[in-house]
């Protein structure tokens, strides 16, 4: 749960950075977008693993 909240916090931070700084250099902006995509992907994987674990737990009842 702590890892999920940390990823969500970082996603929010990256989104606000991208929205607030239109004058970001292009390289820095691309780096921020790549970071955002990687955090989004890791959050999706965590959500999928959690769902699979939940389905597995419910199936054992």
Predicted confidence (pLDDT) per residue in 7-20, tens digit: 778 777 777 776 66
For residue 7, the tally of other CB atoms under 10 A from its CB is 17
Per-residue pLDDT tens digits for 6-57: 777 877 777 777 666 665 677 777 887 888 888 888 888 888 888 777 767 7
Output the pLDDT for position 22.
61
- Confirm whether pTM is higher than 0.85: no
> Which long-range contacts (C-beta less than 8 Å, at least 24 apart) are formed by 42-48?
42/7, 43/4, 43/7, 43/8, 43/11, 46/3, 46/4, 46/7
Q: How many CA atoms lie within 13 A of 48 on its CB side?
A: 6
Length of the chain: 61
Closest to 37 in 3D by CA, of 24, 29, 51, 21: 29
């Amino acid at each position: 749960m702590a890892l999920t909240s940390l990823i969500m916090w970082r996603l929010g931070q990256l989104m606000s950075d991208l929205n607030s700084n239109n004058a970001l250099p292009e390289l820095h902006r691309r780096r921020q977008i790549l970071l955002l995509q990687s955090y989004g992907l890791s959050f999706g994987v965590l959500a999928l693993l959690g769902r699979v674990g939940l389905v597995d737990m419910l199936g054992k009842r």
